[in-house]
Amino acid sequence: MKNILLIAKSTFKGIIKDKVFLGIIFCALLFSIGIYLISSLSLGNDIKITKDLGLAMVFLIANLTAIFFGCTRTREEIREKTYLSIISRPVSPIQFIIGKFLGLFTGVIVCTIIIQTFYMAALCLNKVFDYYSLWQLLLLFFEIAIVLAISILLSILTSDIGSLLLSITLFYIGHSLVFLKNAFANGNAIGKMLTNTLYYLLPNLEKFNIRNTITYNITPTSSQIIYPIIYSVLYTTIILWLCNTALKKEQE
């Protein structure tokens, strides 16, 4: 446990001090200002426009941040074995994976909370407090966990650029699985079997999307919150176990 916490702490500090992290925060601030200015020019739809653009901004920047740091940070430390300098004795693969995941996850969560604050500040300027969006924020945390775990796995298996491209591709597919399944529902047997396999094998990230519900100030049902959380915990655990297996082979 001590090794895990040391790696997590070192990883978290590295992200917070990273210029890319600060650049992401600054860009999010500029986007928030831009969203407020755009919404203020609308006629009667300023709040809805702010919600639509703001929630999309938080969602997109948070996930891309998770992909970027998950792919680049992990591969760099595995290649250079810099994590061994953090502790006084060798660290097991599972300790490294869990510690790295927790450190990256905490860093991305901090970034996401800051971006969410910018979004809510833009709404507060219109005298609106969007407490409904906190439900979407909660689900976004668990979506980030899956995206981050997959990025770490791909960074172990491939190069930095390869893992980035694959992670972004899987992220896009993860939000298109429902569409693909419905598109091939009445197709030929092979296409239907293939899409069903992908639907249950790949991460269904659309489970975490309740932005339309939030936009219209509708409180999500308990199943919309609980089921995605359980799904995220199980899926992330499996991916981290695969990361452990891949890292063991990397060290052989």
Measured distance CA(12)–CA(72) in Å, rounded? 14
Rounded Cα–Cα distance for residues 93 and 109 (Å): 24
In which band, very low, low, confident or very high, does the pLDDT at 47 lie, cut at 50, 70 and 90? confident
Q: Which one has a higher pLDDT value, 225 or 126? A: 225
Residue 179, pLDDT above cutoff 60: yes
Determine the Cα–Cα distance for residues 96 and 106; give it in Å rounded to an integer.
15
Which tens digit of pLDDT belongs to each residue from 128-177?
787 888 999 999 999 999 999 999 999 988 887 889 999 999 999 999 88
Residue length, the chain? 252
pTM for the complete prediction? 0.91
Q: pLDDT tens for residues 214-223?
A: 888 888 999 9
> How far are the Cα atoms of 25, 49, 115, 120, 144 from residue 38, in angstroms, in the given order?
20, 8, 18, 15, 28
**Separate counts of helices (H) and strands (E) for the chain:** 10, 0
For 183-241, write each residue's pLDDT tens digit. Answer: 777 767 777 788 888 888 999 999 999 988 888 888 899 999 999 999 999 999 999 99
The three-class DSSP label of residue 126 is coil
* Distance in angstroms (rounded) separating the CA atoms of residues 146 and 20: 22
